[in-house]
Amino acid sequence: MCLIVIDDINKQHWDAIKSIFHRETKSRIIVTTSLQSVANACSSGGGYVYKMSILDAELSKVLLMKKVFFQGCSPELERGSTAIVEKCDGLPLALVSVAKFLLGENELTGSHCTQVCRNLGLHMEKDADFTKLQQVLVNNYISLSGYPLRTSLLYTSVFPNGRTISRNTLIRRWLAEGYVQCQYKRSDHEVADENFRELIDRNIIRPIDASNNTKVKTCKTHGIMHEFMLHKSMSDNFITSLRDQNRSKFRHLFIQNPASGSTLGLNHQHTSTASDNVSGSEKFRARSLTIFGNVEESASEFCRCELLRVLDLQECNDLEDDHLKDIHKLWHLKYLSLGGTINNLPRNIEKLHCLETLDLRKTKIDILPYEVIGLPHLAHLLGKFKLGKKDLKMSELKKLLPKTCKLKTLAGFVADENAGFLQLMAHMNELKKVKIWCESTGADSKSLPHISKAVQKFAQDGMDTTGVRSLSLDFGNSTGDFLGSMQEYCYLSSLKLRGRLSVLPHFVTSLCGLTELCLSSTNLVGNALSNLCKLRYLLYLKLVEADLRSFVIKNGDFPSLRRLCLVVQSPVLPTIGKGALPYLVSLQLLCKDLADLSGIKIEYHDCLEEVALDSMVSTKAVETWETAAKKHPKRPKVLFLKRIDPSEAQSSVKYVAADGPMPKKGPSIEFSQVQLTQNMLQNECIIRSVQSSSVNKPNSALKKIIVSEPHQAASELSSAGNGAMPPSASICNS
């Protein structure tokens, strides 16, 4: 029996040596890697992957104070150091590097800390105290395969530091910019999706929320990596502020104001106000313009960017309808996103023949101009709107569509007395994702026959495909019983239904290829829901109901299910029998009143990797679930999701990732508490330092270990493999 530790392994090395380790022995192998895919490969067959976490804000402050503020910290200095803590984003190597630099200052003040944070990219490039950090970040960047992937990474720095980025938004913008090179017979979208997964796999960008199919839904760039990329992008004339006097040389422009709710760490030497030194004939070579906050007088700059492919104004707070009057002059525009101050679209938008994505989700636009439907390359139309009020005949509607309609995403529209959208759906042959809000589905509703026909055709057309085909229906205050008349043998990969149902439509259980199902506010009870067990290939099930206590999942039900999400008001949960859900990896139990395990026995689920709870649950409930997780052989993570109440009364409740349970109100950490916290850290940290055979290599994953959070049975690493981001440690039984 022996213990073997292998530092910074890659897949090729593991494939070469794994055969010499015999599984019948009691030996243990611990490997470290910065690649999630390598950790998964090393842990297959009974192994366990532990993901190193970043330091939280309080422990980051402790580490910074320990390294810099030996004799105490004034309130002014503590306030100034907050920006550094935020920018370093919990990465110990970044905190230690900044601390070394601050130690060389004669007189340290809060304002000086803020200035250092603002110029951090420049310091990382020129100051010796940042050499190790700079080397790690450069290794992250150059390890990426090929120019397109590196460019795609640099492109993320156009978003503010700390901003959550939607995966779909980022991919659609990459495609619009031409930063994806199609390979072989794969589509551009497949290649873009693969590039995104590689950045996640390398821990260069951090996943935040996962979607129903386990794909990362939103992400963030690590604060220090964002600073490195933004500085490099500016140095290479790739990205800069619209207020930069040399902006005409740059490919991508942005405005980030304090009004956007984020801190902009930018100090470019040529920065000025937007109106300074601008000649009326000045033209920009920019391909994208992204605005967070107030556009102010810069609205007049739009038409100077004649080569724009991406115009993202979704987070712009003071844009007016009149600012869009000349938008038709941006002939090359492929991506357009508008924000909450826009009420109407100009009809001359029909001249944007290259437009592929039109995102109106945050606008106040209720009526969509007919001209939008005729855009020849439009692939993604996002929002919640009705078609123009004028009642057109079907022959006139068909003339609006281009000869080859390329619309893939229609999410979504309101089905009212004007059945135009529903009729046009029959001629949108490339549709993959549809969302419909039904204004009325009563027996006397004129739109009901059109809804049934449109849904039926969309589902039947999918029989010739095997890919993604998603349908979302929201009945509002009406009922969805019309689905009972739907014919069988249709194809959908994902189905979401919200609204009252008298019975579970047979249409649902007869769908071919259904892997994701979400039922919300249906008022269905145990007997009706029991028919769902017929869905043998279902991978994800989400139920949002007031009470699910009568729902029973028996052994043999849902034999393929991997993710189960239950959102309930009552803390009494469904019964899950022994032997049921053998492949379950994720269990989300979202009820703020959950007090204990509520009869759930997680030891029944051998593959369980995570349990998610409402962030408002009691401390007792958290402790109970964490204790149960520690006793489980797979030691599943206990995660917390924060409820986001919908802006509209009839919208679905949403949850987003939270750092932990909602904290009780209390004072923030003070300098007098730092020494005590340090002692706690030192006493409870399992590993203080590790000497590795590769300790002198710049890409060693065990290069330097910093004390960890008290509640984690492992230590924080300042560098990991090719990067400064926390690595994974894989433990294999041999």
Which letter, b or e, does each residue of 1-29 get, where b requires 16 or more Cβ atoms within 10 Å of its Cβ? eeeeebbbbeeeebeeeeeeeeeeeeeeb
Q: Average the pLDDT over 352-360 and give the result.
A: 95
Partnered with residue 553 across adjacent β-strands are 576
CATH class belonging to 527-651? alpha beta
What digits encode the pLDDT tens for the residues 225-260?
999 999 999 999 999 988 888 888 899 999 887 543
223-235 and 147-155 helices, crossing angle to 10°? 110
Q: Average the pLDDT over 525-554 and give the result.
A: 90
Neighbours of 326 (CB within 10 A): 13
Neighbours of 456 (CB within 10 A): 16
Q: What is the pLDDT of residue 441?
A: 56
φ/ψ of 552, rounded to 5, equals: -120, 130
**By mean pLDDT, which of 85-89, 302-306, 587-591 is the weakest?**
302-306
Looking at every residue in the chain, the average pLDDT score rounds to 81
SS3 485: helix
**By mean pLDDT, which of 20-24, 30-34, 338-342 is the weakest?**
20-24
**How far lies 177's CA from each of 171, 173, 180, 242, in Å?**
10, 6, 8, 18
Widest Cα–Cα separation across the chain: 81
* 188 and 175 Cβ atoms separated by less than 8 Å: yes
Mention every residue, 6+ apart, whose C-beta is less than 8 A from residue 642.
615, 655, 656, 657, 658, 662
Separation between Cα atoms, residue 66 and residue 669, nearest integer Å: 14
**How far lies 715's CA from each of 47, 215, 610, 709, in Å?**
20, 28, 21, 8
Q: ∠ at Cα 200 (197, 203), nearest 5°?
A: 155
What digits encode the pLDDT tens for the residues 95-151?
999 999 988 877 788 888 888 888 888 999 889 999 999 999 998 899 898 889 999
User: CB-based burial of residue 547 (10 Å sphere; 0-12 exposed, 13-18 middle, 19+ buried)?
Assistant: middle
Residue 554's region, left for phi above 0, alpha for psi from -120 to 50, else beta, is beta
Please determine whether the domains at 144-234 and 527-651 fall in the same fold group of CATH. no
Residue 221: half-sphere exposure toward Cβ, Cα within 13 Å: 23
Q: What is the pLDDT of residue 646?
A: 65
What digits encode the pLDDT tens for the residues 655-711?
888 877 876 544 444 433 443 334 433 333 332 223 233 333 334 333 332 322 323
Q: State yes or no: pLDDT of 466 exceeds 80.
A: no
Q: Average the pLDDT over 350-363 and give the result.
A: 94
SS3 701: coil
Separation between Cα atoms, residue 578 and residue 591, nearest integer Å: 23
Q: State yes or no: pLDDT of 38 exceeds 60.
A: yes
What digits encode the pLDDT tens for the residues 409-464?
999 889 887 777 888 887 888 899 999 998 775 556 677 778 888 888 888 887 77
Q: What is the 8-class DSSP label of residue 724?
A: S
Q: State yes or no: pLDDT of 632 exceeds 80.
A: yes
Q: Who wins on pLDDT, 83 or 734?
A: 83
Q: What is the DSSP string of 145-182?
A: SSHHHHHHHHHGGGSPTT--EEHHHHHHHHHHHT----
Separation between Cα atoms, residue 357 and residue 81, nearest integer Å: 41
Query: Residue written as tokens 């992937």?
Result: 149
Q: Average the pLDDT over 579-585 and give the result.
A: 93
Query: Residue written as tokens 């004129």?
Result: 446
Name the pTM for this structure: 0.85
Q: Which two tokens stand for residue 216?
A: 């990362």
Q: Please enumerate, as own/partner, the contacts of 203-208 that have beta carbons within 8 Å and a separation of 24 or more.
A: 203/34, 203/35, 203/36, 203/720, 203/723, 203/725, 203/726, 203/727, 204/140, 204/144, 204/153, 204/723, 204/725, 205/153, 205/156, 205/165, 206/725, 208/164, 208/656, 208/657
Neighbours of 269 (CB within 10 A): 9
CA dihedral 593, 597, 602, 604 (to 10 degrees): -130
Q: What is the pLDDT of residue 275?
A: 46
* 307 and 285 Cβ atoms separated by less than 8 Å: yes
What digits encode the pLDDT tens for the residues 472-524?
999 887 788 788 777 777 899 999 999 888 888 888 988 888 999 999 999 88
Neighbours of 514 (CB within 10 A): 22
Query: Residue written as tokens 């919208």?
Result: 651
674-684 and 57-68 helices, crossing angle to 10°? 110
Separation between Cα atoms, residue 701 and residue 718, nearest integer Å: 9
- Domain positions in the chain are 3-49+669-733, 144-234, 527-651
Q: State yes or no: pLDDT of 56 exceeds 80.
A: yes
CATH class belonging to 144-234? mainly alpha
Q: Which two tokens stand for residue 473?
A: 């229906």
Q: State yes or no: pLDDT of 382 exceeds 80.
A: yes
* 292 and 260 Cβ atoms separated by less than 8 Å: yes
Separation between Cα atoms, residue 517 and residue 213, nearest integer Å: 11
